[in-house]
Structure 1
Amino acid sequence: MLKFFLSWFSDLYSELAENLDQYIQNKLQPSKKQLQKIDENINTICEFLELQSQVKGILLGGSYGRNTVLKGHSDGTIVIFFSEPFAEAYIKQTFIKDFIKIFELTRAMGKFNIGNEKFQLELIESELTITFDIHPVFSTLVEPSGWQTSRDKPSIDTYQKWINPGKSAFESPFCFTQLQRRFFSNLPRKLKDLILLVKHWYQEKLKQDSLPLQYALELLTVYAWEQGSGKDDFNIAEGILTVLELITKYNELCIYWTVNYDFEDETIRNYLQSQLQKDRPIILDPADPTRNVAESAPKLWKQLAKEAKNWSTLPSFKEENSSFWKPWDILPASLYVTRGHMLDKFIHDFLQPKQESLEQINKAVNIIQAIFNFLTEKYFKDSTITVKNIVKVGSTAKGIALRRISDPEWSLYPRDSDVDLVIFFNCFQNHNDQNASRAMIIKEIQKYLLYRPLKDFEIKFEVTKWKNPRVLSFNLKSKLLNRCQEFDLLPAFDALDPQVSKSKPDPEIYIHLIKTFKCNSGSEFSTCFIELQRDFIRPRTTKLKSLIRLMKYWYKQCHRKLKKKGSLPPKYAVELLTVYAWEQGSGMHDFDTAEGFLTVLKLIMQYKELCIYWTVNYDFQNEIIRDFLLSQLSNSRPVILDPADPTGDVGGGDRWCWHLLAHEAEMWLSSLCFKRGDFNPVKSWQVPTVQTTRSSGLGRSL
């Protein structure tokens, strides 16, 4: 029935999603033997060329150089570097004659074409034809032997000269061919197979000789994989659906890489910003910032978007269980290039969790609670290890969770799309009990969760390197869920019992905490007060929680970039700093998100001055607590006290590398986020870096 229905469509459209790997292997990958023969001919030609007196070096590019050759007809480039500036007459009269002789000496099966504007070499080997465009180049910026290793990166001076309007007329964009080739060199074979599939689809739909968007689609495929999977082995159906979805959003695309050039240098930064402010789609060549490979053929993008929509909605992408394969959830443009007046839309469209995701989380929590009810009745009933209460906390409970964006390094971040559950046990009578017995409790929970009657649920535990872990992390799979759900279980002493969480805790609770803290320097007891952390954020205005989401997403980007340079301050510190910025700078239910974003970044830049605290749960009225607070607030700055736990200074003084985050914040001041629709600059709120103590009854500032 399916084959009959799809008989109206092309051979590719009729291919079931689960068979795409085989389709690529059988119909799109060129024969290794044929490709090897062309390699031999090209090597012979290059060896002869390099013997010519004026030839300085040779680079191979195009699909051939990127190793994305498609069976049938494909493209390549031969970039020939000359030792001296050349004239067009010399190329046509002398060099081309010599090239033809060299070509004849190779006895290759193919032909050589000379046109008014193009010199082409066509090599044919049975079912494989590769047409090489020949580009003579003289460059004062780039040596043909430059950047041979993955560690080499062009100097800032190279790009400063390249983007200069007055650069030499002899300079050619083809001098960056080696960087283009290197960009693709370490990509996994399966990603290149996905590129073949995209190129084949593109050629089938276009059915013409000129393919102006082929390189753009190759780069778009790389971007989809980098942001959505990043793994050597991935699902081809998910990958192609992601590329198709990005094509349907072509008028939102703004994609660039910073592997060869970045925003550090002011001249290059200003040029990049001017590039990224242009009409979309934008896909900057990772080797050449002057080249937007997506800017040509707007009508073609519209045609491709229509075809992409058609293919992605066909029954061929339906799984056996009748549900459809889904694309990776990635962004068509980065936050950095989103203008200030569009930030609310960015948050709504890309960062706010979908209702389906929230429903899945609630289902998963119900499953875990049912499991623990079962374990309590069967095993904990007569045991000293009894579950007193289970509380959902963390970003999900606070209402500030980020959408589960596909990201190859998501697991390296402090996670947000997981579920945090604090389990209060009766066996913990105080903070010291929690410290002493937590590892044993985690081990027991892990053992019980693997009990055989729970076989309807697949549970996979994460390995921890800590001797006394604070958390048990695992993934839960169930037929009741549409996805694998991550959980963090945190055993804790119920320090607030029997108090209602909405009321202000009895000072005695904090007095006991302070005494325990002094005897156990360096211990962490924040899990005992995690309900207060949740309740500090949860009732806040919706737009403030959206701003917190934005700051967390920004923090994750910084974490990806800086994680190897040093330990960044905790994400919770940025959350609290965002709340403080809003309280001091706006306090309104409706405010300008760009202004709030800019204010938090400027506070981060002033980290050496920060001294912030709240008195919603503890204050200066009790002498013991007051003395402790004054001691905490006199610590090295930044000081940001947890509003739920006065022993927790998430500012940490010089404990964390605030300077790295501050430098990144300074770089972001040039982002389009802080330009309005008319490109006028956004202004930050006026916020003090030091919290005053007048409201606490001390009558002075710290």
Structure 2
Amino acid sequence: MSMVKFYSCGRCGDDFASPSALRYHFRAKHLGKIYCDKCGSEVSRNNLKQHEKVDHGAATAKTKHFWWNNPSRRETCFVALEICVTCRMCHRPFGTIHSREQHEKQDHHFTASKRAQMSTEFSPESIVEYRSPKQLQEFVETKLRPIPGLLRISCMAETDAVIDLIKECFPLPVTRLIKGGSYIKGIDAQDWSDIDILLFSDAFASTEDCRERLTQALDEMAGRLKKSSWANRILMEKNTPFSVRFQFKCYKDLHSHSFDIMPCYDALGPVPSEGLKRHLFHTLNHCRNRDHLQLYSMSLLQYQVEFVKSCTVGVKDLIRLVKHWLRTSFAKSTKENKFRRLPSSYALELISIYVWQLAGKPIFFSLLQGLRAVLKLLVRYSEICIVWYDHYGPNFQTFKKASHSQRRPFILDPANPIFNVCENSNAWDEVAHVAKQSLLKPLFNGVPAKEPWLYTNIWSDMQHQDADKPPRHNPQ
């Protein structure tokens, strides 16, 4: 872990070795400039009106912001983009996080006290009031882990039957199928589970052809599911632009699974070469069509699943705990902040895996220590920079472009070198606040870091901007 102190520019995030270098940079690059609220670029204060007139005509602005002005569509994206720069109160889009935060403070009076009031609400099911590691372990074993035995076997049989039904109801021949979601990764809980099904078909000649035929295929599949013999156990939801969604009542109606069915053109095939994967990464990097970008990204689902699925049982229990903490520690969104978006489940999964890897990948470990490490890292969200090299290397040009991004938090998808999984949230400051409040609760009161979690000692809960930065993770 690096002990070198850097001085970060508050405007662009660039790091400098000395205060004098930072001052020179600020005078040369930022002095006399302000942010444009529409595109986030820095322009001279005197030239702002001219910039808006030339670069932000009505037609251009309409085209630029169409995608993210549509909340319902944005929530259905397989790969989220730029959501972190939308206001959580009015959903107005901004070019930078800084300009969005300034708008929230000035126009909505979103002060620190208001943020605390609107973010924190520990429910009766919260585990932060527990007082011992033993209680936490018992909670995971009895309340979070799926119940083994006959119930689990019956559940597996019924989900397999539903997947066979999906293949029958899809109007095009299915050549390959990929399964994902918490159920397949092995991180589902007793009261929540989701299953993603990716259907590949040779009937799609290309990604462009898939997009053109997708809506009709989804409508036909949804119609057939409604008429199937299982219809009384399937609660259909509204189709998204890329998928059919429904809730399935499982074994004896004791629980349900949330299914997300996504047809796609098979851009990689069952055994892709390194060259083919690099070609897909190159295509993703240069793709400017939002819909096509989603469909290309779907092809990487299997690698996302494998990355999480390969973890140990203890890590999967830690992931369940972190997700339970998220579900039971935050206040519900209101009309005032209805556009607030907390981090995705996938982002929390990757953060949990990251702290475990920093600890040296122990097979057996204290869940209390693991959860404490996750919360302490969330407090320092503005310094998070996590990268894995499982499917791309540091010299890969697409990876370089993404990793040089100054946005924080930054967690690069292990399977996709253009996707920062943190960009689907605009409420990381709320996450940090609730994490800090959680660390003050009885569960963590007076609990020191123990081996192999001693690295968390350098993560100060207060004034984290002056502390040493967590290292970029590189397993190689």
TM bracket (short chain): 0.5 to 0.7
C-alpha distance in structure 2 between counterparts of 1:542 and 1:477, whole Å: 26
1:574 aligns to what?
348
Q: Does 1:358 align with 2:152?
A: yes
Superposition deviation, residue 442 in structure 1: 1.4
Question: The residue matched to 1:486 in structure 2 has which SS?
Answer: strand
CA separation in 1, counterparts of 2:154 and 2:162? Answer: 12
Give the aligned residue type for 2:430.
Answer: L
How far residue 437 of structure 1 moved from its aligned partner, in angstroms, is 3.5
Cα deviations by residue, 1:40-76 (Å, 9 ceiling, x for unpaired): xxxxxxxxxxxxxxxxxxxxxxxxxxxxxxxxxxxxx
| 2:393 paired with 1:619 | yes
Aligned partner (choices 399, 413, 435) of residue 186 of structure 2:
399
Question: Which structure 2 residues correspond to residues 572-651 of structure 1 after superposition, within 5 A?
Answer: 572-620=346-394, 626-635=396-405, 636-651=407-422
Identify if the C-alpha distance between structure 1 residues 661 and 332 changes in structure 2 by more than 3 Å, giving closer, same or farther.
closer
Q: Indicate conservation of the 8 Å contact 1:555/1:571, yes or no.
A: no
Structure 1 residues 603 and 521: CA distance shift in structure 2, 3 A: farther
Match of 1:71 in 2: none
For the Cα contact (< 8 Å) 2:200–2:264, is it kept in 1?
yes
SS at match of 2:354: helix
Aligned to 2:198: 422
Within 2, Cα distance between the matches of 1:631 and 1:386?
Answer: 38
1:386 match: secondary structure: coil
Q: CA deviation at 1:553?
A: 0.8
Q: Greater relative contact order (Cα 8 A, min sep 6): structure 1 or 2? A: 2
Matched residue count: 335
The residue type equivalent to 1:417 in the other structure is S
Q: Please give the secondary structure, in 1, of the residue aligned with 2:298.
A: helix
Q: Which residue of 1 aligns with 2:429?
A: 659
Change in CA separation of 1:473 and 1:539 when aligned onto 2, cut-off 3 Å: same
Which SS does the other structure have where 1:490 is aligned? Answer: strand
Partner residue of 1:389? Answer: 176
Shift of residue 333, structure 1, vs aligned partner: 5.6
Q: Distance in 2 between matches of 1:592 and 1:601?
A: 15
Which protein has the larger Cα radius of gyration, Structure 1 or Structure 2?
A: 1
Residue equivalent to 1:672: 442
Three-state SS of the structure 2 residue aligned to 1:652 is helix
Deviations 1:564-586 (A, max 9, x none): 64211212111101101110123
Cα offset, 1:401, TM superposition: 0.6
For 2:175 and 2:355, the matched residues in 1 are separated by 37
Is the 1:572–1:650 Cα contact (8 Å) retained in structure 2? yes
Contact kept, 8 Å, 1:459 with 1:474, in 2: the verdict is: yes
User: Is the 1:514–1:628 Cα contact (8 Å) retained in structure 2?
Assistant: yes
Superposed displacement of residue 447, structure 1: 2.0
Indicate how the Cα distance of structure 1 residues 519 and 689 shifts in structure 2: closer, same or farther if over 3 A, else same.
same
Counterpart Cα distance in 1 of 2:140 and 2:324: 10
1:539 and 2:310 aligned: yes
Q: What is aligned with 1:489?
A: 261
Preserved contact between residue 360 and residue 482 of structure 1 (Cα < 8 Å): no
SS in 2 for 1:499: coil
Larger deviation: 543-552 or 553-562?
553-562
Shift in Å at residue 619 of structure 1? 1.9
- TM-superposed CA distance for 1:628, in Å, is 1.3
CA distance, structure 2, for counterparts of residue 340 and residue 548 of structure 1: 19
Deviation at 1:397, TM superposition (A): 0.7
Q: Equivalent residues in 2 for 1:86-97 (5 A)? A: none
User: What CA distance in whole angstroms lies between the structure 1 residues aligned with 2:411 and 2:140?
Assistant: 26
- Cα contact 1:400–1:548 (8 A) shared by 2: yes
> RMSD over aligned Cα, in angstroms?
3.2
Letter in 2 for 1:341: P
CA distance in 2, matches of 1:608, 1:479: 44
- SS of 2:261 mapped into structure 1: strand
1:363 deviates by 2.4
1:645 match: secondary structure:
coil
1:519-549 per-residue CA deviation (whole Å, 9 max, x = no partner) reads: 2265334422111111111121111111111
Between the aligned partners of 1:608 and 1:332, the Cα distance in structure 2 is 30
Aligned mates of 2:218, 2:330 — CA distance in 1: 29
Paired letter, 1:337: E
Structure 2 residue aligned with 1:689: 470
SS in structure 1 at match of 2:390: coil
Q: Distance in 1 between matches of 2:212 and 2:329?
A: 35
8 Å CA contact 2:194, 2:258 repeated in 1: yes
Q: Secondary structure at the residue paired with 2:305?
A: helix
Superposition deviation, residue 458 in structure 1 = 4.2
Could you tell me how far 1:455 is from its partner in structure 2? 6.1
Distance 1:538 1:480 in 2: 27
Deviation at 1:658, TM superposition (A): 0.8
The letter of the residue matching 1:657 is A
Alignment partner, residue 339 of structure 1: 131
Say if 1:434 and 1:336 are closer, same or farther in 2 by CA, change over 3 A: farther
Q: CA deviation at 1:554?
A: 1.0
Measured after TM superposition, the shift of residue 428 of structure 1 is: 3.4
Q: Name the residue aligned to 2:161.
A: 367
Query: Under a length normalisation based on structure 1, what TM-score does the superposition of the two structures give?
Result: 0.44
State the 1:642 CA deviation.
Answer: 0.9
**Residue aligned with 2:418, SS:** strand
1:495 and 1:529 in contact (8 A); partners too? no
Alignment match, 1:499: 271
Structure 1, gaps ≥5 residues long = 1-263, 274-330, 405-415, 696-702
Percent identity, aligned pairs only, is: 25
Structure 2: distance between partners of 1:553 and 1:659: 19
Alignment partner, residue 79 of structure 2: none
Contact 2:206 2:265 in 1 (8 A): yes
More strand as a share of residues: 1
Matched position secondary structure for 1:651: helix
Tell me the secondary structure at the aligned position of residue 423 of structure 2. coil
- 1:14-25 matches, cutoff 5 A: none
What code does the residue aligned with 1:396 have?
Y
**Per-residue deviation at 1:390?**
2.8
Q: Is the 8 A contact 1:514 1:647 kept in 2?
A: no
Q: Is the 8 A contact 1:495 1:509 kept in 2?
A: no
Alpha-carbon deviation of 1:479?
Answer: 8.5
CA contact (8 A) 2:388 2:414 kept: yes
Q: Distance in 1 between matches of 2:362 and 2:230?
A: 50
Could you state the TM-score of these two structures normalised by the residue count of structure 2? 0.63
Q: How does 1:216-365 map to 2 (within 5 A)?
A: 334-342=126-134, 343-355=136-148, 356-365=150-159
Gaps of 5+ in 2: 1-115, 457-468
Instruction: Give the AA of the match of 1:398.
Output: K
Judge conservation of contact 1:418–1:485 (CA < 8 Å) in 2: yes
Looking at structure 2, the residues matched to 420 and 370 of structure 1 have their Cα atoms a distance apart, in angstroms, of: 14
Tell me by how many angstroms 1:598 deviates: 1.2
Cα contact 2:183–2:193 (8 A) shared by 1 = yes
CA distance in 2, matches of 1:433, 1:585: 46
| Shift, 1:430, TM fit | 4.1
Q: Distance in 1 between matches of 2:258 and 2:473?
A: 41
